Structures are given as C-alpha cells and as structure tokens.
Amino acid sequence: MRNVLAHLGLCVVTMAVCFGPRVLRADDSPVVQDSQNQPSSNDQPPVRRWQYPDPETERAPSYAAEAKRPRQRYSGWLALGYLSAPALGLGLPLLVESASSNDTLTAFVFITGFVTAALVPGIVHAVHGETGRARRAWVGFPISMLVGIVLGAVIGSLIGVSHKGDPAFDGDAQLSFGIKGALIGTAVGAAGFAIFDLAT
C-alpha cells in the first residue's frame, strides 16, 4: 500500500513540475489584471479594448497642407535674367576694352561679367523660392555655355583650315574662325538652356 501511495505521489509531483508552469490561472491573465488595475467608478463608461475609430472624432489626416506649393509665375524676370547674360558677359568687357587699354582690367571684367551672367538666372529662381531650379540653373547654364564655347571654337577652327591661305582673310583664318565659332557656340548654348529652363 505504501508503495502504491509513493508511486502515486511521485506521479502527481512529476505532472505538477511538467505542466504546472504552463497552466495560467484565470486571475493571472493579462486582461484580468488590466481590468483589476482600472479605477472603479460608476460614472465612467466601460473600457473597450478593441474598437473601431469614431468617424466624428477621429478624422483622416488632411494632406492638402502638405501639397506642393504652386509654382509662381515669374517668366518675365527669368527671361530678363537670361537676356542680361550677353550684356554682362560680352558687352561690358567690350565697353571696358574700348574705354581703356589695360588688358588686365579687360580680362578681369570679362571673367566677372561671365560669372555674374551665369549666376543671374539662378538668383531669380532662388528669390522666388524655387531652390531646385536655382541649383539646376547655377550648374546647367555655365556648363551649356562652356560646351558651346568648346564646340564652337573647334568647328570654327576646322572651317578656318579650309580657308587657310585665302587672300580674302587677313592674318590667321583658323584663329579668326575659331573665335567667331566660340562666340556663336556660347550664344547657342546659352539660348538652348534658357529655352529649356523657361519651358520647364
């Protein structure tokens, strides 16, 4: 009899050790504990753990304020900025060269005018709040003019080679055509980027 009771007790202890930690008492469950921690008041409505949003109190976020700000119309000022580029980059140095015989001053005015002409369209964009278009103009406009200068000078030089030795051209025809090609290429590159910028 004692052996039977001992084996029975051993079985009970084994089952308690194996399955006891996995059994959760009803009053130990998270939902019951949470409800016990809530202050009891007859005036408060019962707390609902899962509920759908109330359409009257919880409205969907409005994305109207986050919409992109409409682009301002300042095409006139932008066109004026591009039209000032030839005056600053070419007209002003020629004016200084005709008024003064100092080559250093002429070169300085030419560089200053070219840089200023390249920055004016971007400044117009920045003043009107278009920082993205301003960065594009500050990078794209000078590159367009430089590419035009190089291509124009190369094409002009190649044309000048064919007129080498022609008595109709005084001096070096290749250099003369190269300078003219550079000027034409600058104008074409600047005009092309200006049209692109105004259109977009």
Residue stretches of the chain with pLDDT short of 70 = 1-72, 165-171
Token duo for residue 91: 């007209």
Tell me the pTM: 0.58
pLDDT computed for residue 188 by the predictor: 93
Kindly state the DSSP code that residue 190 receives in the 8-state scheme. Answer: H
Kindly state the DSSP code that residue 4 receives in the 8-state scheme. Answer: H
pLDDT computed for residue 24 by the predictor: 45
Token duo for residue 138: 């500050």
pLDDT tens digits for range 11-34: 655 655 555 544 444 444 555 455
Token duo for residue 102: 């100092």
Q: What is the DSSP string of 109-172?
A: HHHHHHHHHHHHHHHHHHHTT-HHHHHHHHHHHHHHHHHHHHHHHHHHHHHHHHTTT-TTS-S-
pLDDT computed for residue 120 by the predictor: 94
- The Cα–Cα gap between 186 and 13 comes to 97
pLDDT computed for residue 189 by the predictor: 93
Encode burial over 47-59: b for 16+ CB neighbours within 10 A, e otherwise: eeeeeeeeeeeee
pLDDT computed for residue 155 by the predictor: 92
